[in-house]
Structure 1
Amino acid sequence: MLTPGVVEGPLPNAELHADTRTVLRGWVPTSSAAATARDRTLELLEAGPVTLGREHRAGHVTASALVLDATGSRVLLCLHGKFHRWVQLGGHCEPGDRTLAGAALREATEESGIAGLRIDPVPIDVDIHPVGCQGGSFHHDVRFAVLAPPGAVCAVSDESDDLGWFPPDRLPEPLAGGTAKLVPPALAALRRAPLRPVP
Protein backbone atom coordinates (compact mmCIF):
# COMPACT_ATOMS: atom_id res chain seq x y z
CA MET A 1 0.00 0.00 0.00
CA LEU A 2 1.22 3.51 -0.71
CA THR A 3 1.72 5.97 2.10
CA PRO A 4 -0.62 8.96 1.59
CA GLY A 5 1.32 12.07 0.54
CA VAL A 6 4.46 10.18 -0.45
CA VAL A 7 5.57 10.49 -4.05
CA GLU A 8 6.46 7.14 -5.56
CA GLY A 9 10.19 7.07 -6.12
CA PRO A 10 13.08 4.67 -6.33
CA LEU A 11 12.77 2.07 -3.58
CA PRO A 12 16.29 1.58 -2.87
CA ASN A 13 16.14 3.25 0.55
CA ALA A 14 19.56 3.33 2.22
CA GLU A 15 18.22 4.47 5.61
CA LEU A 16 15.66 1.65 5.79
CA HIS A 17 18.24 -0.85 4.57
CA ALA A 18 20.70 0.18 7.29
CA ASP A 19 17.99 -0.01 9.96
CA THR A 20 16.88 -3.47 8.81
CA ARG A 21 20.42 -4.83 8.96
CA THR A 22 20.97 -3.31 12.42
CA VAL A 23 17.69 -4.69 13.77
CA LEU A 24 18.31 -8.21 12.49
CA ARG A 25 21.98 -8.33 13.49
CA GLY A 26 21.09 -7.39 17.07
CA TRP A 27 18.02 -9.61 17.35
CA VAL A 28 17.87 -12.73 19.53
CA PRO A 29 15.69 -15.15 17.50
CA THR A 30 12.55 -16.59 19.10
CA SER A 31 12.98 -20.04 17.53
CA SER A 32 15.47 -22.08 15.53
CA ALA A 33 13.37 -21.56 12.38
CA ALA A 34 13.40 -17.80 12.97
CA ALA A 35 17.19 -17.91 13.44
CA THR A 36 17.61 -19.63 10.06
CA ALA A 37 15.25 -17.14 8.39
CA ARG A 38 17.10 -14.22 10.03
CA ASP A 39 20.45 -15.48 8.73
CA ARG A 40 19.07 -15.99 5.22
CA THR A 41 17.55 -12.50 5.30
CA LEU A 42 20.86 -10.94 6.32
CA GLU A 43 22.46 -12.76 3.37
CA LEU A 44 19.76 -11.35 1.08
CA LEU A 45 20.41 -7.83 2.39
CA GLU A 46 24.04 -8.07 1.23
CA ALA A 47 22.66 -7.23 -2.26
CA GLY A 48 21.85 -3.72 -0.98
CA PRO A 49 18.75 -1.53 -0.59
CA VAL A 50 17.15 -3.06 -3.70
CA THR A 51 16.18 -6.02 -1.48
CA LEU A 52 13.53 -3.83 0.18
CA GLY A 53 11.50 -3.45 -3.01
CA ARG A 54 8.92 -5.84 -4.45
CA GLU A 55 10.75 -5.63 -7.80
CA HIS A 56 13.63 -7.70 -6.39
CA ARG A 57 12.59 -11.08 -7.71
CA ALA A 58 15.15 -13.11 -5.75
CA GLY A 59 13.33 -12.03 -2.59
CA HIS A 60 12.51 -8.88 -0.65
CA VAL A 61 11.99 -7.82 2.95
CA THR A 62 8.44 -7.17 4.15
CA ALA A 63 7.11 -6.07 7.54
CA SER A 64 4.07 -7.35 9.40
CA ALA A 65 2.43 -6.96 12.79
CA LEU A 66 0.38 -9.06 15.16
CA VAL A 67 -2.00 -6.53 16.69
CA LEU A 68 -3.26 -7.22 20.21
CA ASP A 69 -6.05 -5.39 22.00
CA ALA A 70 -5.33 -3.18 25.01
CA THR A 71 -5.73 -6.11 27.42
CA GLY A 72 -3.62 -8.54 25.39
CA SER A 73 -6.56 -10.97 25.38
CA ARG A 74 -7.47 -10.73 21.68
CA VAL A 75 -5.56 -10.55 18.40
CA LEU A 76 -6.64 -8.73 15.25
CA LEU A 77 -6.42 -10.72 12.02
CA CYS A 78 -7.49 -9.96 8.47
CA LEU A 79 -9.04 -12.29 5.93
CA HIS A 80 -6.65 -11.57 3.07
CA GLY A 81 -8.35 -10.58 -0.16
CA LYS A 82 -5.95 -12.54 -2.38
CA PHE A 83 -5.04 -15.56 -0.25
CA HIS A 84 -8.43 -16.01 1.45
CA ARG A 85 -6.81 -16.96 4.73
CA TRP A 86 -6.73 -15.21 8.11
CA VAL A 87 -3.33 -13.62 8.66
CA GLN A 88 -1.57 -10.87 10.63
CA LEU A 89 -1.50 -7.39 9.09
CA GLY A 90 1.46 -6.28 6.99
CA GLY A 91 3.02 -5.96 3.58
CA HIS A 92 5.67 -4.34 1.41
CA CYS A 93 8.02 -1.55 2.43
CA GLU A 94 7.33 1.81 0.77
CA PRO A 95 9.53 4.78 -0.23
CA GLY A 96 8.63 6.83 2.85
CA ASP A 97 9.55 4.13 5.39
CA ARG A 98 12.67 4.96 7.40
CA THR A 99 12.64 2.01 9.82
CA LEU A 100 11.42 -1.56 9.56
CA ALA A 101 9.27 -1.17 12.69
CA GLY A 102 7.86 2.00 11.12
CA ALA A 103 6.91 0.04 7.99
CA ALA A 104 5.12 -2.58 10.10
CA LEU A 105 3.32 0.12 12.10
CA ARG A 106 2.25 1.92 8.92
CA GLU A 107 0.91 -1.30 7.42
CA ALA A 108 -0.96 -2.17 10.62
CA THR A 109 -2.51 1.31 10.75
CA GLU A 110 -3.53 1.28 7.09
CA GLU A 111 -4.99 -2.22 7.20
CA SER A 112 -6.79 -1.88 10.56
CA GLY A 113 -8.00 1.72 10.37
CA ILE A 114 -6.93 2.12 14.02
CA ALA A 115 -5.10 5.28 15.08
CA GLY A 116 -2.72 5.30 18.03
CA LEU A 117 -1.21 1.84 17.62
CA ARG A 118 2.02 1.23 19.55
CA ILE A 119 4.81 -1.11 18.46
CA ASP A 120 7.67 -2.98 20.07
CA PRO A 121 10.66 -2.32 17.75
CA VAL A 122 12.14 -5.74 18.58
CA PRO A 123 10.92 -8.39 16.10
CA ILE A 124 8.96 -11.40 17.33
CA ASP A 125 9.65 -13.58 14.26
CA VAL A 126 11.22 -13.76 10.81
CA ASP A 127 9.65 -16.00 8.18
CA ILE A 128 10.46 -16.69 4.53
CA HIS A 129 7.69 -17.87 2.22
CA PRO A 130 7.04 -17.96 -1.54
CA VAL A 131 4.76 -15.33 -3.10
CA GLY A 132 3.55 -14.39 -6.57
CA CYS A 133 5.33 -11.01 -6.79
CA GLN A 134 7.03 -10.47 -10.17
CA GLY A 135 5.86 -13.88 -11.32
CA GLY A 136 7.38 -15.67 -8.33
CA SER A 137 9.50 -14.41 -5.44
CA PHE A 138 9.98 -14.73 -1.67
CA HIS A 139 8.87 -12.55 1.21
CA HIS A 140 11.44 -12.27 3.99
CA ASP A 141 8.82 -11.16 6.49
CA VAL A 142 9.99 -9.52 9.72
CA ARG A 143 7.17 -9.56 12.28
CA PHE A 144 6.46 -7.27 15.23
CA ALA A 145 4.03 -7.02 18.16
CA VAL A 146 1.61 -4.07 18.10
CA LEU A 147 -0.83 -2.94 20.79
CA ALA A 148 -4.14 -1.23 20.04
CA PRO A 149 -5.48 1.55 22.29
CA PRO A 150 -8.47 0.88 24.58
CA GLY A 151 -11.78 0.84 22.74
CA ALA A 152 -10.13 0.55 19.31
CA VAL A 153 -12.56 0.07 16.43
CA CYS A 154 -11.19 -1.47 13.24
CA ALA A 155 -12.21 -0.82 9.64
CA VAL A 156 -11.70 -3.21 6.73
CA SER A 157 -9.23 -1.95 4.11
CA ASP A 158 -9.27 -2.57 0.35
CA GLU A 159 -6.73 -5.38 0.80
CA SER A 160 -8.91 -7.47 3.13
CA ASP A 161 -12.24 -9.23 2.87
CA ASP A 162 -12.77 -9.00 6.63
CA LEU A 163 -11.17 -8.10 9.96
CA GLY A 164 -11.82 -9.68 13.32
CA TRP A 165 -10.67 -9.88 16.93
CA PHE A 166 -10.01 -13.41 18.19
CA PRO A 167 -8.89 -15.00 21.48
CA PRO A 168 -5.31 -16.26 21.05
CA ASP A 169 -6.37 -19.84 21.76
CA ARG A 170 -9.32 -19.76 19.32
CA LEU A 171 -7.93 -18.41 16.05
CA PRO A 172 -10.13 -18.62 12.93
CA GLU A 173 -9.87 -20.99 9.99
CA PRO A 174 -8.54 -21.08 7.37
CA LEU A 175 -5.45 -19.65 9.05
CA ALA A 176 -2.25 -18.71 7.22
CA GLY A 177 0.73 -20.85 8.11
CA GLY A 178 2.91 -19.30 10.80
CA THR A 179 0.31 -16.89 12.20
CA ALA A 180 -0.47 -18.91 15.34
CA LYS A 181 3.21 -19.12 16.32
CA LEU A 182 3.32 -15.30 16.62
CA VAL A 183 1.03 -15.24 19.66
CA PRO A 184 3.48 -16.40 22.40
CA PRO A 185 6.33 -14.03 21.42
CA ALA A 186 3.87 -11.15 20.96
CA LEU A 187 2.50 -11.64 24.47
CA ALA A 188 6.06 -11.90 25.78
CA ALA A 189 6.86 -8.57 24.07
CA LEU A 190 3.99 -6.90 25.91
CA ARG A 191 5.33 -8.17 29.23
CA ARG A 192 8.93 -7.23 28.38
CA ALA A 193 8.57 -3.53 27.65
CA PRO A 194 6.01 -0.80 26.99
CA LEU A 195 5.23 -0.50 23.30
CA ARG A 196 6.03 2.73 21.51
CA PRO A 197 3.71 5.02 19.54
CA VAL A 198 6.44 5.85 17.02
CA PRO A 199 9.47 3.62 16.20
Structure 2
Amino acid sequence: MVAAPGTVVDLLSRYQPQGAAEIADLARIRALVEAEPDPWRRSIPLHVTASALVVHPDSGRVLLRWHERLQAWLQVGGHGDPGEIDPLGVALREGREETGLTDLTPWPDEALLHVVIVPVPAKGDEPAHEHADLRFVMATSDPVAVRPEKPDAPLRWLSLPEAHEVTTEANLRETLFRAGSLFPAD
Protein backbone atom coordinates (compact mmCIF):
# COMPACT_ATOMS: atom_id res chain seq x y z
CA MET A 1 0.00 0.00 0.00
CA VAL A 2 1.37 3.43 -0.99
CA ALA A 3 0.38 6.19 1.46
CA ALA A 4 -0.77 9.62 0.37
CA PRO A 5 1.83 12.34 1.01
CA GLY A 6 1.23 14.18 4.27
CA THR A 7 -0.29 11.21 6.07
CA VAL A 8 1.04 9.68 9.27
CA VAL A 9 1.93 6.46 7.43
CA ASP A 10 3.94 8.35 4.81
CA LEU A 11 5.75 10.42 7.42
CA LEU A 12 6.63 7.44 9.62
CA SER A 13 7.81 5.37 6.66
CA ARG A 14 10.57 7.94 6.01
CA TYR A 15 11.54 8.59 9.65
CA GLN A 16 14.75 7.25 11.21
CA PRO A 17 14.37 6.84 15.01
CA GLN A 18 17.24 7.48 17.42
CA GLY A 19 17.71 5.09 20.32
CA ALA A 20 15.82 2.17 21.81
CA ALA A 21 12.98 4.19 23.39
CA GLU A 22 12.14 5.94 20.13
CA ILE A 23 12.38 2.70 18.15
CA ALA A 24 9.82 1.15 20.55
CA ASP A 25 7.53 4.20 20.41
CA LEU A 26 7.72 4.29 16.62
CA ALA A 27 6.78 0.59 16.43
CA ARG A 28 3.71 1.18 18.65
CA ILE A 29 2.65 4.17 16.55
CA ARG A 30 3.07 2.25 13.29
CA ALA A 31 0.92 -0.55 14.72
CA LEU A 32 -1.69 2.03 15.73
CA VAL A 33 -1.90 3.65 12.30
CA GLU A 34 -2.05 0.27 10.58
CA ALA A 35 -4.91 -0.92 12.82
CA GLU A 36 -6.97 2.26 13.21
CA PRO A 37 -8.87 3.91 10.35
CA ASP A 38 -8.60 7.23 12.26
CA PRO A 39 -5.55 7.23 14.57
CA TRP A 40 -6.27 10.88 15.49
CA ARG A 41 -9.54 9.94 17.24
CA ARG A 42 -9.39 11.16 20.85
CA SER A 43 -11.61 8.32 22.08
CA ILE A 44 -8.93 5.66 21.63
CA PRO A 45 -6.41 5.12 24.47
CA LEU A 46 -3.41 5.87 22.24
CA HIS A 47 -3.98 8.50 19.55
CA VAL A 48 -1.83 10.64 17.28
CA THR A 49 -1.05 14.26 18.11
CA ALA A 50 1.33 16.70 16.45
CA SER A 51 3.39 19.42 18.05
CA ALA A 52 6.05 21.98 17.29
CA LEU A 53 8.99 23.46 19.07
CA VAL A 54 8.78 27.10 18.02
CA VAL A 55 12.15 28.77 17.54
CA HIS A 56 13.54 32.19 16.68
CA PRO A 57 16.64 31.20 14.68
CA ASP A 58 18.28 34.65 14.82
CA SER A 59 18.40 34.68 18.63
CA GLY A 60 18.66 30.91 19.19
CA ARG A 61 15.66 31.00 21.52
CA VAL A 62 12.77 28.57 21.85
CA LEU A 63 9.18 29.24 22.89
CA LEU A 64 7.54 27.15 25.60
CA ARG A 65 3.91 27.19 26.73
CA TRP A 66 2.63 26.50 30.23
CA HIS A 67 0.28 23.49 30.14
CA GLU A 68 -2.02 23.72 33.13
CA ARG A 69 -3.20 20.11 32.95
CA LEU A 70 0.34 18.72 33.06
CA GLN A 71 1.75 21.50 35.22
CA ALA A 72 4.72 21.82 32.91
CA TRP A 73 6.40 24.05 30.33
CA LEU A 74 6.03 22.23 26.99
CA GLN A 75 6.09 22.76 23.26
CA VAL A 76 2.89 23.84 21.48
CA GLY A 77 0.64 21.39 19.69
CA GLY A 78 -2.17 18.96 20.14
CA HIS A 79 -5.00 17.06 18.53
CA GLY A 80 -6.02 17.04 14.92
CA ASP A 81 -9.42 18.46 14.08
CA PRO A 82 -11.93 16.09 12.46
CA GLY A 83 -10.78 15.26 8.94
CA GLU A 84 -7.18 16.41 9.43
CA ILE A 85 -4.60 13.78 8.47
CA ASP A 86 -1.43 15.82 7.84
CA PRO A 87 0.78 15.91 10.99
CA LEU A 88 2.77 18.92 9.79
CA GLY A 89 -0.45 20.80 9.06
CA VAL A 90 -1.83 19.97 12.52
CA ALA A 91 1.40 21.13 14.20
CA LEU A 92 1.36 24.35 12.18
CA ARG A 93 -2.31 25.10 12.93
CA GLU A 94 -1.91 24.33 16.63
CA GLY A 95 1.26 26.43 16.77
CA ARG A 96 -0.47 29.44 15.23
CA GLU A 97 -3.52 29.07 17.48
CA GLU A 98 -1.52 28.71 20.70
CA THR A 99 1.05 31.44 20.01
CA GLY A 100 -0.69 34.00 17.81
CA LEU A 101 2.33 33.85 15.49
CA THR A 102 1.02 34.00 11.93
CA ASP A 103 4.40 33.67 10.22
CA LEU A 104 5.30 30.19 11.53
CA THR A 105 7.04 28.01 8.98
CA PRO A 106 8.76 24.62 9.21
CA TRP A 107 12.45 25.07 10.05
CA PRO A 108 14.99 24.36 8.77
CA ASP A 109 12.76 22.11 6.66
CA GLU A 110 9.59 20.02 7.01
CA ALA A 111 11.35 17.05 8.61
CA LEU A 112 9.96 15.26 11.62
CA LEU A 113 12.27 15.94 14.58
CA HIS A 114 11.11 13.50 17.25
CA VAL A 115 8.54 10.73 17.75
CA VAL A 116 7.46 9.99 21.31
CA ILE A 117 4.56 8.44 23.21
CA VAL A 118 3.56 10.62 26.14
CA PRO A 119 1.26 9.60 29.02
CA VAL A 120 -1.60 11.99 29.80
CA PRO A 121 -3.28 11.81 33.22
CA ALA A 122 -7.04 11.51 33.67
CA LYS A 123 -9.00 14.73 34.08
CA GLY A 124 -12.72 14.97 34.78
CA ASP A 125 -14.57 12.50 32.57
CA GLU A 126 -11.53 11.91 30.38
CA PRO A 127 -9.56 8.78 31.35
CA ALA A 128 -5.78 8.58 31.35
CA HIS A 129 -4.49 7.99 27.84
CA GLU A 130 -1.41 8.37 25.66
CA HIS A 131 -0.42 10.75 22.89
CA ALA A 132 1.61 9.43 19.97
CA ASP A 133 3.25 12.80 19.44
CA LEU A 134 4.91 13.70 16.15
CA ARG A 135 7.20 16.69 16.72
CA PHE A 136 8.43 19.34 14.28
CA VAL A 137 10.32 22.62 14.51
CA MET A 138 8.62 25.85 13.44
CA ALA A 139 10.33 29.23 13.12
CA THR A 140 9.16 32.79 13.44
CA SER A 141 10.94 35.95 12.37
CA ASP A 142 8.73 38.10 14.65
CA PRO A 143 9.06 36.80 18.23
CA VAL A 144 7.53 39.95 19.76
CA ALA A 145 4.24 39.16 18.00
CA VAL A 146 3.65 36.19 20.34
CA ARG A 147 0.26 36.23 22.10
CA PRO A 148 -0.99 33.49 24.45
CA GLU A 149 -4.15 31.70 23.39
CA LYS A 150 -5.62 32.13 26.89
CA PRO A 151 -4.55 33.67 30.21
CA ASP A 152 -3.73 30.34 31.88
CA ALA A 153 -1.39 29.35 29.01
CA PRO A 154 1.49 31.85 29.20
CA LEU A 155 4.34 31.70 26.73
CA ARG A 156 8.06 32.22 27.41
CA TRP A 157 10.99 32.77 25.07
CA LEU A 158 14.02 30.99 26.49
CA SER A 159 17.58 30.19 25.53
CA LEU A 160 18.19 26.46 25.13
CA PRO A 161 19.93 26.23 28.55
CA GLU A 162 17.00 28.09 30.17
CA ALA A 163 14.51 25.80 28.44
CA HIS A 164 16.37 22.72 29.71
CA GLU A 165 16.29 24.22 33.21
CA VAL A 166 12.51 24.80 33.32
CA THR A 167 11.59 21.58 31.53
CA THR A 168 10.55 18.68 33.74
CA GLU A 169 9.81 16.22 30.94
CA ALA A 170 12.68 14.01 29.74
CA ASN A 171 11.04 13.62 26.33
CA LEU A 172 11.00 17.40 25.83
CA ARG A 173 14.63 17.62 26.92
CA GLU A 174 15.41 15.20 24.09
CA THR A 175 13.41 17.37 21.65
CA LEU A 176 15.32 20.46 22.84
CA PHE A 177 18.64 18.62 22.45
CA ARG A 178 17.77 17.65 18.88
CA ALA A 179 16.57 21.15 18.03
CA GLY A 180 19.76 22.63 19.47
CA SER A 181 21.79 20.74 16.91
CA LEU A 182 19.93 22.64 14.16
CA PHE A 183 21.22 26.04 15.26
CA PRO A 184 24.57 27.21 13.87
CA ALA A 185 27.49 26.76 16.26
CA ASP A 186 28.84 29.99 17.72
TM-score normalized by the length of structure 2: 0.83
For residue 170 of structure 2, the aligned residue among 173, 177, 180 is 177
Two-structure CA RMSD over aligned residues (Å) = 2.4
User: CA 1:105–1:159 in 2, change beyond 3 Å: closer, same or farther?
Assistant: farther
User: CA 1:105–1:84 in 2, change beyond 3 Å: closer, same or farther?
Assistant: same
Letter in 1 for 2:14: G
User: CA 1:101–1:92 in 2, change beyond 3 Å: closer, same or farther?
Assistant: same
Q: Which residue of 2 aligns with 1:52?
A: 40
Question: How many aligned residue pairs are there?
Answer: 176
The CA deviation string for residues 111-148 of structure 1, in whole angstroms up to 9 with x for no partner, is 11101101132111111122237412211111111111
Is 2:134 aligned against 1:146? no
Say whether the 8 Å CA contact 2:65–2:76 is kept in structure 1. yes
Is 2:101 aligned against 1:128? no
Is 2:82 aligned against 1:95? yes
Letter in 1 for 2:161: D
Distance 1:159 1:178 in 2: 26
User: What 5-or-longer segments of structure 1 have no aligned partner?
Assistant: 1-13, 192-199
Say whether the 8 Å CA contact 2:4–2:10 is kept in structure 1. no
The CA deviation string for residues 34-62 of structure 1, in whole angstroms up to 9 with x for no partner, is 222111100111123322111112x1000
User: CA 1:112–1:31 in 2, change beyond 3 Å: closer, same or farther?
Assistant: farther
Is 2:75 aligned against 1:108? no
Say whether the 8 Å CA contact 1:15–1:99 is kept in structure 2. no
Letter in 2 for 1:138: E
| Range that drifts further, 102-111 or 169-178 | 169-178
Distance 1:32 1:152 in 2: 39
| Range that drifts further, 135-144 or 179-188 | 179-188
User: CA 1:165–1:24 in 2, change beyond 3 Å: closer, same or farther?
Assistant: same
Say whether the 8 Å CA contact 1:78–1:162 is kept in structure 2. yes
Paired residue secondary structure (1:114): coil
User: CA 1:44–1:190 in 2, change beyond 3 Å: closer, same or farther?
Assistant: farther
Shift of 1:97: 2.6
Distance 1:62 1:69 in 2: 23
Letter in 2 for 1:114: L
Distance 2:152 2:26 in 1: 28
Percent identical: 29
Q: Which residue of 2 aligns with 1:63?
A: 50
Letter in 2 for 1:177: A
Distance 1:31 1:146 in 2: 24
Paired residue secondary structure (1:90): strand
